[in-house]
Structure 1
Amino acid sequence: MIYRTTSGRTSSGEAIGILLLDTIVPFIPGDVANATTYDFPVRFSRVAGFSLDRAICQDPTIYPLLRDAAAELVRQGVRAITADCGYMALHQRRLATELGVPVFLSSLLQIPFILAIIGAQRSLGILAANGAALDHQLLAAVGVDDPSRLVIEGLEQQPAFHHFALAESGEIDVDAVRQEVVAAGIRVVKRNRDVGAILLECSLMPPYGAALQEALQMPVFDYISMINYVFSAVVKKSYHGFI
């Protein structure tokens, strides 16, 4: 077997490249930005200047920096590009068109798939870092033109979540945030009894997905479910067994 490389590559074996916001947040296990979350190597790249505020406000002027960081990840050998903020969906179509590898910047890209598999009579609950920011423009960017089956609950007013995720205090009370995420999910289901699944928009929420599922007894989708799915497509495994 012959292997080849290109000039400038510093390592190999990282199929998924992850673009990170320029934030001050503890990345606990289960977080998109924690390498121990994955069963495979990943490569991270922080986009300098891409703050959470610029993501939530859907600032289009950040795109050149985002594109350059993504292009460098591709140059380093990744096979697909994701990110750590659902609000990066604004840049999804342009980056996917220009980059030449699969791009899946936002966990919200799973919405059409989830709606298709839970049945036309069911709704999808979405827990978001900022519920008001999930507007029609952002949803349209991930292929959702009709939001009537979406039940959105933002956590921007929850004190523990706001303290670590939005105010960027640099510390997190994991138990308190878990309680807030689970309580938000319960509110969604109580408000709409036809909810058939939950999607976590925020890359900081997957650590609480198991507790949420235990409380609600329904499928919970998040960034990690999406990343694992795409990894299985760009790095196929060989099967061995017998019949």
Structure 2
Amino acid sequence: MTLHWPNRVYGELGPETDGLRLRVGQNQNMGGFPIGIVFIDGVRYPYMPGNVCNGWTYDFPVRLAAVPELQVTELFAADDSIAERVIDTCLGLQREGVRAISSGCGFFGNFQREVRDALDIPVALSSLVQIPWIEQVVRSDESIGVLTASSPDITSKLLEGCGIAHPERLVIRGLQEAPEFSAIIEGRGEFDNGEVRRELVAAATALVAESSAPIGAILLECSDMPPYASAVQSATGLPVFDFITLIRWLESSVCQTPYRGFH
């Protein structure tokens, strides 16, 4: 089998692989980044530990790349004119040797299919791609709560692009009007971290309380929400999925290591 990219050659390097002939791709001048992350160029706010774009979030290396001149408004609006820029940025990460790609905003899912089909490595641009799997692990009479940065922009195009066939199972609540959380999508450059946490917890508990169907799990759509996932889980008592559960899943699939021990 011919491998298109050297980063498809898997396996942990150690003494047992001394006989392996290594190679790199054309224009590749770095290595050791299993996960690549594309993010919005035109944003300005604090990146807390737990945020997709904060290096302290991970116990493995990640490679970040901004999509040039990309603005929040055009990404949320699924402007088709930006698809080529998103693809080019992801191709750049692929050339640099990353093994899988995610993103720093759930609305990159508007271009999930186009990017996936343009690359030779796994691509999961939105936390929403976890929804079909979550549907299989909660009861069939349960709904899935979704907290999002902007509920009006959760469109059928976005959901279909992320493989969601049963949107009727989703209970969606947006934080676009929350006084502190809105600082993120408005790029105000600062926010009260404790208040953002309280806003997310309040939104999650209200979603659960007001849903006509029982909620089996919560998905945090936005890449800025994982810092508060633990607080949301403590308040609701539910499984919580987010961008970091997605990225850890991706990393584990492309960086398998041998099990060691004694019997």
Same fold (TM > 0.5): yes
In structure 2, how many angstroms separate the alpha carbons of the residues matched to 1:99 and 1:27?
A: 28
In structure 2, how many angstroms separate the alpha carbons of the residues matched to 1:36 and 1:15?
A: 16
Equivalent of residue 177 in structure 1, options 176, 196, 213? 196
Q: Which amino acid aligns with 1:204?
A: D
Q: Which amino acid aligns with 2:176?
A: E
* CA deviation after TM superposition for structure 1 residue 214, in Å: 0.6
Q: Which residue of 2 aligns with 1:236?
A: 256
Q: Taking structure 2 as the reference length, what is the TM-score of the superposition?
A: 0.89
Q: Is contact 1:136-1:145 (8 Å) kept? A: no
Task: Report percent identity of matched pairs.
Answer: 40
* CA deviation after TM superposition for structure 1 residue 98, in Å: 1.2
Q: Which residue of 2 aligns with 1:21?
A: 40
Q: Is contact 2:197-2:231 (8 Å) kept? A: yes
In structure 2, how many angstroms separate the alpha carbons of the residues matched to 1:216 and 1:228?
A: 23
In structure 2, how many angstroms separate the alpha carbons of the residues matched to 1:120 and 1:6?
A: 46
Where do 5+ consecutive residues of structure 2 fail to align? 1-17
Where do 5+ consecutive residues of structure 1 fail to align? none
Q: Which residue of 2 aligns with 1:12?
A: 31
**C-alpha RMSD of matched pairs (Å):** 1.1
* CA deviation after TM superposition for structure 1 residue 7, in Å: 4.5
- Number of positions where the alignment pairs a residue of Structure 1 with one of Structure 2: 242
In structure 1, how many angstroms separate the alpha carbons of the residues matched to 2:222 and 2:198?
A: 16
Q: Which amino acid aligns with 2:152?
A: A
Q: Which residue of 1 aligns with 2:171?
A: 151
Pairs within 5 Å for 1:1-243: 1=18, 2-22=21-41, 23-163=43-183, 165-192=184-211, 194-243=214-263
Q: Taking structure 1 as the reference length, what is the TM-score of the superposition?
A: 0.97
Q: Which amino acid aligns with 1:184?
A: A
Q: Which amino acid aligns with 2:30?
A: S
In structure 2, how many angstroms separate the alpha carbons of the residues matched to 1:10 and 1:75?
A: 9
In structure 1, how many angstroms separate the alpha carbons of the residues matched to 2:194 and 2:219?
A: 20
| Bigger Cα Rg | 2
* CA deviation after TM superposition for structure 1 residue 31, in Å: 0.1
* CA deviation after TM superposition for structure 1 residue 237, in Å: 1.5
Q: Which residue of 1 aligns with 2:12?
A: none
- For residues 138-185 of structure 1, give each alpha carbon's deviation from its aligned partner in whole angstroms, at most 9, with x where no partner exists: 11111123211100000001010012x121011121101000000000
Three-state SS of the structure 1 residue aligned to 2:144 is strand
Three-state SS of the structure 1 residue aligned to 2:29 is coil
